[in-house]
Structures are given as structure tokens and as C-alpha cells.
Amino acid sequence: MSAAAGLRRTPLYGRHVELGARMVEFGGWSMPVYYTGINEEHRAVRARAGVFDVSHMGELEVAGRDARTFLQAQLSNDLDRLAVGQAQYTLLTNDRGGIVDDLIAYRTAADRYLLVVNASNTATDLAALQAALPTKGVTLVDRSAELGMVALQGPSSDEVLGAAARSAKLASLEPFHHVAATIAGVACTVARTGYTGERGVEILMPADRAVAVWDAILTQREHGVVPCGLGARDTLRLEVCYPLHGNDITPETDAISAGLGFACSLAKEFRGVAKLRAVRERGPRQRLVAFAMVERAIPRGGLDIRAGGEVVGRVTSGTLSPTLDQGIGMGYVRADLAEPGTAVVIDVRGRLRDAEIARKPLYRKEP
């Protein structure tokens, strides 16, 4: 299938078309939503391994003698916890404490960081950082067009990666660490990060060599690896309650209410921290919760959440879980109703369906 006019294409677009992927618009990009089917690809990642094209993500490099000081004032988490070779989940916030974006910061050298940001927010993040950039001591460069990125996720991802890289050493890479590695003759950065709740890695490489890395991974079919689209990526992340920016978190929602206080170092100064301290002090008025349907129904974003005959919140994400075989979702509810086990009702297109606030994550791997 051809991309719609005006949509951007990743370096792997041709491979997706060859594989018969169903292509859709996503954040201005033509991206595969599935190849064989969302459920099949989802289950492959839970049982074996799947590889995703995430080259649409943005990459912003911040470097210079004052790079750390600059980013400490812009990002919510404490960069002083990062050694070279480590990574950190963090937030870019506004003056109201709202979440402009959630991202991963990689420390690549003593005075250099790479920020991997959401695709649809790359221009916004770049503009926000540029507006705060000092006149000297820090450089900010958008590397997005130069880099490709794939995510290899699932229980057998170590075997797939080891075969593709011809090295078993990468299996010892710890969570939120990254190393240089060669895959199919391509110099890559391999990071123990991901968005599925499974063991896996994300791999950065030069954009013009992305096809070689993708092919090297997909040739390891004896380990059960399959190509996966955005549809499975969404159902996988929702089962483990990872928020999606634009749905579950936005510039209008704060980190404390969203349950992302762990990514905020409230002892330091950054944009909006006073607002976040105030929310923490008084307690949030609403909380982002997970829920599971008691009745057979599929919740979707935007639906009302009811309790005691009144609207008490709204669904931000919902789906039919391929693993749990029941409707699941996340949404904001009044803080007094956020306790797991609380009965609520989801208004599914005018039909009231019973649900229950659930403990996060909804899916837990068996030991």
C-alpha cells in the first residue's frame, strides 16, 4: 500500500509494504498498524519475540559543558543518578506541571545526552528546549532524520539479538543501560528499554542502515521473531499500564495525578515543580487508574466512568486484552474512587457496563 500524500516515511517503509503491512497515519507518519493481525502479533511478543519499527520517534542531542545543568532545569527526573551508559525515564513539563512529553534520556558521554521523544511531540519538545537554551555552554541538535530505531521485545529477544549480533554478551545488559554493538556490520546503540512489559531492547542505528539491522533480526525466525505493528504495541503497553502521551497524559495532566511521581525529583528546580509539590502536598483530586471490565464489553477512550449514578471520570485508553481476554483500560477518576476493587460503570455507547478498578499492572508475568 502506498502512503497517503504528505505523510512521512521511516527508513523501513519499503520493508513494511513488502511484508503486506496495513499502513495507517500516525502522528504525521505512514506506519504499520499490523501485518498478520494485532492479536497474533501481541501474543507473539508475550510468548516469543516481535520487532517493531519505531524510527518515527524523535532523537534530540544535548551536549556541552553545561548540558547537565541545562537538562536538570528542563526535565523532571534527577540526571545526577545517570552514569555514562545509563538511561532514565523522565518528563518535560510546562509551567503548570503538565506533561509536555514523556521521554527517555540517555547519557552517552560525560557532557552529552540523547533524548528519545515521542514522534508527534518532537517539534514541540525541540521548540521548548530551544526557548530555554543558554547562549553558550550547550548545543541542541535534532538527530531524528539521521537515526533509525527498532524495538525487539519478548522472552526470546535475547536469543534473537545474540544471533543477529553474533554475540551472547548483550544478554547481560541491565535494564536502563545502553552499549555500543555491531549488528549486520552496522554500528548500533542497544538499550535495555521498551514499551511492552517484556524483556527486550531498543536499537538505534544510522537511518540509512536500518534495513540491514531489520533484516538481520527477522532472519532469526527459528527464535520465533515476527514483525509487529503499532496495534500490538498499544495493546501490549495497555496491559502493563504504560501511559500513552496524548491519551493518558497530556500538557493538561500532571505527573502526580498520573502516577508518575517516581519520575519527578521534587527536591530540585524544574519547570512546574511548585505546582507538582502543591499537588503532592494536598493530594491529587483525580488519579489515573487501571480498570478491568466485569461484563463483556470493550472500553474506548473518551467514554464516561460512572459510580453512584454520576459521572466520576473518563476513559483515556481501552481495548480488549488479547492476553486476559477481557476489556481493560485506564482513565482518570475521583481520587476517593481510585482504590483497587472499587466498582464502577463504563458508559459504552449508552450501555452501562460493570467494571472494577484494578491494581497496576493488569498483566503480570508468571515467575
Q: How far is CA 165 from the centre of its chain?
A: 25
Question: If we measure between CA atoms, which residue out of 242, 254, 353 comes closest to residue 303?
Answer: 353
Residues 161-190 have a mean pLDDT of 97
Question: Which residue, 236, 256, 284, sits at the end of a domain?
Answer: 284
Query: Is the same domain home to 278 and 289?
Result: no
Are the CB atoms for 103 and 92 separated by under 8 Å? yes
Q: Is the pLDDT of residue 2 over 50?
A: no
pLDDT in tens, 104-147: 999 999 999 999 999 999 999 999 999 999 999 999 999 999 99
Question: Which is more confidently placed, 191 or 27?
Answer: 191
**Domain span at 359:** 285-367
- At 63, which CATH number? 3.30.1360.120
pLDDT in tens, 89-116: 999 999 999 999 999 999 999 999 999 9
At position 63, the amino acid (one-letter code) is A
Query: Is the same domain home to 323 and 348?
Result: yes
Question: Which residue, 220, 249, 284, sits at the end of a domain?
Answer: 284
Question: Which residue, 248, 263, 284, sits at the end of a domain?
Answer: 284
Query: Is the same domain home to 341 and 255?
Result: no
pTM, entire model: 0.96
Residue 86: C-alpha distances to residues 15, 48, 178, 220 (Å): 31, 26, 6, 28
Q: Is the peptide bond prior to 11 cis by the omega test (within 30 degrees of 0)?
A: no
- At 330, which CATH number? 2.40.30.110
pLDDT in tens, 243-295: 999 999 999 999 999 999 999 999 999 999 999 999 999 999 999 999 999 99
pLDDT at 221: 87
